[in-house]
Structure 1
Amino acid sequence: MARRSQGTKLHLAVLCLVVSCHAIGLSDLMERASQRSDKLHSLSTSLNKDLDSHFPPMGRVMMPRPSMCHTSSLQIPKDKEQALRVSENELISLARSLLLAWNDPLLLLSSEAPTLPHPSNGDISSKIRELQDYSKSLGDGLDILVNKMGPSSQYISSIPFKGGDLGNDKTSRLINFHFLMSCFRRDSHKIDSFLKVLRCRATKMRPETC
């Protein structure tokens, strides 16, 4: 019930944002998007810590490299210094492309979490559903943003996700689940960083100080 209430509040917040978007300035919209992306990254970090608490000894060795994340094909700034040299339209496009690329993987994680061989699978499952709620909320907010920014900011790169199975044995499921979550944490950090740069630009702050 608490989780449903949380999701309802998120969607109501998005609805209010849609209704009043014409009266809200770009800087305020950027601030709201930045707050949601910050929460998304915080949740993903918390989930990774939960998974670390019960990880197979050989898990670190067997887990795929970060370059194997399905979003690695997207050409994005490697750090904040590079992001500062990217245009507003490209940054918002990259953030939306990354967010959209996680719709299917989050569905997979959500379906696998309840039976994950982990003592905290109940909490993990709940947090995954929260991630889905915040991802949806952030995506809706970014849609509003690009409508205010103009058509040149509306391009989205399609990033296919081919993984549909975490494996059959317990170790494989834990490792692949953890791998996907580590990829999401990495991408949520990028999304959050891009939106913070955009927020600073919208509020006329020096982005390098944000």
Structure 2
Amino acid sequence: MLQDKQYAQGKNYNDRFPESCPTESFDTPENKGQVLESNSEVLLKLVCNLLYSWTEPLFHLVNEMSALQGDTSAMLSKAREIRAKFGELRVGVKVILNKIGEKDNEIYVAWSGLPSLQSSNEDIRGFAFFNLIRCLVRDSHRINTYLEVLKYRMIHQNNC
């Protein structure tokens, strides 16, 4: 995953009140128990919606990161890789949803973080990068957890 340490060094970003994430409005399971109690189709749709909601933020993260000063090549490469993997996952999840007869009613959440990411104020821009990466890490963990539960259910024929 992207390292947010580069943006956090000496800035005390961890001490600041974080801005909301692009997927903040989603009703997601709060803990493992709720994830395990969730219907498989609901989890699949949630994964699909999480992935779709990151399309625009990841696009802008990559674009704005390429405009940063300094050597950001490693982080830019990682951001591009993550964007591509999210795209592949979106396609795969849509295929599964279609095969089980579920519509992939994507919920597109309007992302309001672009002005901060493009700010001429270095501190605002740095915190926007930090926050976006923090949110990306959080949602990536959620997606991974949901997919692991779904994989386990498929392998064990829902006897879990």
Asked if residue 110 in structure 1 is aligned to residue 51 in structure 2, the reply is: no
What's the CA shift for 1:158? 2.6
Distance 1:62 1:144 in 2: 40
Instruction: List alignment gaps of at least 5 residues for structure 1.
Output: 1-43
Asked if residue 171 in structure 1 is aligned to residue 134 in structure 2, the reply is: no
Contact 1:62 1:175 in 2 (8 A): no
Distance 2:129 2:17 in 1: 10
What's the CA shift for 1:163? 2.1
Distance 1:88 1:144 in 2: 15
Contact 1:116 1:174 in 2 (8 A): no
The equivalent position to 2:78 in structure 1, one of 122, 127, 131, is 127
What's the CA shift for 1:53? 3.9
Distance 2:159 2:122 in 1: 45
Normalized per residue, the structure richer in helix is 1
Distance 1:63 1:176 in 2: 12
TM-score by length of 1: 0.68
Identity of matched residues, %: 27
TM-score by length of 2: 0.88
Contact 1:63 1:179 in 2 (8 A): no
What's the CA shift for 1:69? 1.1
Worse overlay, 120-129 or 98-107: 120-129
The 1:123–1:207 alpha-carbon spacing in structure 2 relative to 1, beyond 3 Å, is farther
How far does the alpha carbon of each residue in 1:93-119 deviate from its partner, in whole angstroms, 9 at most, with x for none? 0000000000000011011112325x5
The equivalent position to 2:37 in structure 1, one of 75, 79, 85, is 85
Q: Between Structure 1 and Structure 2, how many residues are aligned?
A: 157
2:12 maps to what in 1? 58
What's the CA shift for 1:207? 7.7
Asked if residue 191 in structure 1 is aligned to residue 143 in structure 2, the reply is: yes
What's the CA shift for 1:159? 1.6
Contact 1:84 1:207 in 2 (8 A): no
What's the CA shift for 1:62? 3.1
Q: Where do 1:141-180 residues align within 5 Å?
A: 141-151=92-102, 154-165=104-115, 166=117, 167-180=119-132
Contact 2:22 2:110 in 1 (8 A): yes
The equivalent position to 2:52 in structure 1, one of 100, 104, 127, is 100
Distance 2:62 2:56 in 1: 10
Query: Which amino acid is the alignment partner of residue 157 of structure 1?
Result: I
Query: Which amino acid is the alignment partner of residue 126 of structure 2?
Result: L
What's the CA shift for 1:73? 0.7
